[in-house]
């Protein structure tokens, strides 16, 4: 039995400003109207079967984003919520502890793009007998250019099951070494996709990373269940050493076999990789985002992501990456996109909110978009899903005016419960308990005008919350 495990813990800072820590790239619809996570869920369901439950390992703060994606594509998703980021070795250890010992865990990152799902399913099924025999399978990608952004696997001798022994793993090489390896042949890109039985993972971790496994065992023993959410003990998990599965296990174990995957693959790990997913015009220009908003004039090999409501024009621009969002703009040379993490670090050091959050912020009940702000006022668009409700709360320092734009609102305002339709409004003074709910079957949209001496998101006192937030 193949049990898919999706690793959802990445922060995706290399794709800033579109991807940010609070809403990373795996949740963003980079390809049409589907996110990378949704495409990954659909891809592994093709391997495991339509009735399979898929495990996602990720952060507590992203749990409702994962749940929403699963609901959108009708896939049953259970989640292991990491109390802290501890890299892939700990994530895989938790998944192995939670799975039946004889099941083969198909470990996949949430943010990779593999357009041919059937070819991927065939590759996994071909490798499954070797995994059932106690081997750890890693899937190698046939390299198409001398990338310096990927690790490599040098294959050894072929075996009877269709794979190869691993001669060695090679860290991200400099350009001249990458070119040399491509010329030599016998190397794969390391995709970070694995297949092995749960008990094989545990035995191998016990041998090569016993401290990581011990911490995860303690955290799992103290776990709590909340519906489809499994929460390991936070104190025990915090003691776990942070290390990738490659360093902890793959580069040391003797039972590792590499199987070739010959289909197209991208880790979508940089803006160059995102650009490559778009079709180039005759001058090598590419575009994504809102249709009709990106324009190239006298430009060559320039990529535009037009993510806002405004046109983005590249005039006489060569070899640039232009990424426009409603609250941040990135203009970078194509040869410097691997340094976007430094941009994020710089903004974080300056306490810039844009380093972590988008203007539009996802919430379990829907989302809000801060469209205007001043010293003593802020204006938000708030959208609430059908049947959803915000927490019962109050604010000590701000008052709020709510105007219904579309849908039906059920408003708790102090001791009153009101039903408001389009163009109707209510006023909530500072210090009054209130709640907004959507009792209807369509999306509810309101405009909220805040006024007061302090407008920070931490000015909130919750009394009741259906989502379990503090």
Of 301, 292, 119, 93, the residue nearest 198 (C-alpha): 93
CB 116 within 8 A of CB 128: no
Q: Which pLDDT belongs to residue 56?
A: 97
Q: Is the pLDDT confidence value at 169 over 90?
A: yes
Q: Rounded to whole angstroms, how far apart are CA atoms 96 and 345?
A: 34
User: Distance between CA 442 and CA 439 in Å, rounded?
Assistant: 9
pLDDT above 90 for 10: no
Q: What is the pLDDT of residue 52?
A: 84
Q: Band the pLDDT of 457: cuts 50, 70, 90.
A: confident
Instruction: Mention every residue, 6+ apart, whose C-beta is less than 8 A from residue 435.
Output: 389, 390, 391, 392, 393, 411, 412
pLDDT at 404 over 80: yes
Share of the chain above pLDDT 90, in %: 86
Task: Give the pair of three-digit tokens for residue 32.
Answer: 């049409």
- Average pLDDT of the segment spanning 197-222: 97
- Find all residues with CB under 8 Å of 147, minimum gap 6, and list them: 178, 189
Provide the 10 A C-beta neighbour count for residue 233: 17
- The Cα–Cα gap between 330 and 323 comes to 5
Confidence (pLDDT) at 470: 67
Mean pLDDT calculated for residue range 252-256:
95
Mean pLDDT across the chain, nearest whole number?
Answer: 94
Domains in the chain: ranges and CATH: 2-261 (3.90.550.10), 279-339 (no CATH), 360-464 (2.60.120.10)
Q: How confident is the model over 66-109, as pLDDT tens digits?
A: 999 999 889 989 999 999 999 999 999 999 999 988 899 999 99
14-55 pLDDT, tens digit each: 999 999 988 999 999 887 788 999 999 999 999 988 888 899
Give the confidence band of 392 by pLDDT, cuts at 50, 70, 90: very high
pLDDT tens profile 334-382: 999 989 999 999 999 999 999 999 999 999 999 999 999 999 999 999 9
Question: Is the four-CA dihedral 91, 97, 43, 132 of positive or negative sign?
Answer: positive
- Confidence (pLDDT) at 50: 83
For residue 306, pLDDT over 70 is answered with: yes
């Amino acid at each position: 039995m193949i049990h898919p495990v999706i690793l959802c813990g990445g922060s995706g800072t290399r794709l800033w400003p579109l991807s940010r820590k609070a809403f990373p790239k795996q949740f963003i619809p980079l390809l049409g109207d589907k996110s990378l996570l949704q495409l990954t869920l659909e891809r592994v369901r093709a391997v495991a079967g339509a009735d399979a439950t898929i495990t996602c390992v990720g952060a507590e703060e992203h749990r409702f984003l994962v749940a929403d994606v699963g609901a959108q594509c009708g896939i049953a998703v259970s989640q292991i919520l990491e109390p802290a980021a501890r890299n892939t070795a700990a994530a895989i250890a938790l998944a192995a502890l939670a799975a039946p010992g004889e099941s083969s865990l198909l470990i996949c990152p949430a943010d990779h793009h593999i357009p041919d799902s059937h070819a991927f399913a065939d590759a996994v099924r071909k490798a499954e007998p070797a995994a059932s025999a106690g081997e750890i399978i890693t899937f190698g990608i046939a390299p198409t250019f001398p990338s310096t952004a990927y690790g490599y696997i040098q294959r050894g001798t072929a075996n009877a099951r269709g794979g190869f022994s691993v001669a060695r793993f090679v860290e991200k090489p400099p350009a001249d070494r990458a070119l040399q390896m491509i010329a030599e042949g016998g190397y794969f890109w390391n995709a970070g996709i694995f297949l092995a039985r749960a008990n094989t993972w545990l035995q191998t971790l016990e041998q090569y990373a016993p401290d990581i496994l011990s911490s995860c065992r303690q955290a799992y023993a103290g776990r709590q269940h909340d519906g489809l959410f499994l929460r390991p003990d936070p104190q025990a998990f915090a003691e776990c050493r942070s290390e990738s599965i490659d360093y902890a296990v793959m580069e040391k174990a003797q039972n590792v076999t590499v199987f070739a995957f010959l289909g197209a693959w991208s880790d979508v790990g940089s803006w160059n990789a995102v650009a490559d997913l778009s079709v180039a015009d005759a001058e090598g220009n590419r575009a994504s985002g809102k249709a009709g908003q990106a324009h190239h004039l006298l430009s060559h090999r320039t990529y535009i992501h037009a993510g806002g409501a405004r046109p983005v024009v590249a005039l006489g621009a060569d070899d640039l990456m232009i990424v426009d969002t409603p609250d941040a703009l990135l203009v970078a040379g194509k040869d410097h996109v691997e340094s976007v993490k430094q941009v994020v670090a710089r903004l974080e050091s300056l306490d810039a909110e844009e380093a972590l959050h988008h203007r539009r912020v996802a919430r379990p009940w829907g989302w809000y978009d801060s469209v205007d702000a001043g010293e003593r006022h802020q204006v938000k668009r708030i959208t609430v899903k059908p049947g959803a409700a915000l927490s019962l709360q109050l604010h000590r320092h701000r008052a709020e005016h709510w105007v219904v734009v579309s849908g039906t609102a059920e408003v708790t305002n102090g001791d009153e419960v009101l039903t408001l339709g389009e163009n109707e409004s209510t006023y909530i003074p500072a210090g009054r308990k209130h709640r907004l709910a959507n009792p209807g079957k369509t999306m509810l949209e309101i405009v909220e005008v805040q006024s007061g001496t302090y407008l920070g998101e931490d000015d909130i006192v919750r009394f009741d919350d259906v989502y379990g937030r503090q």
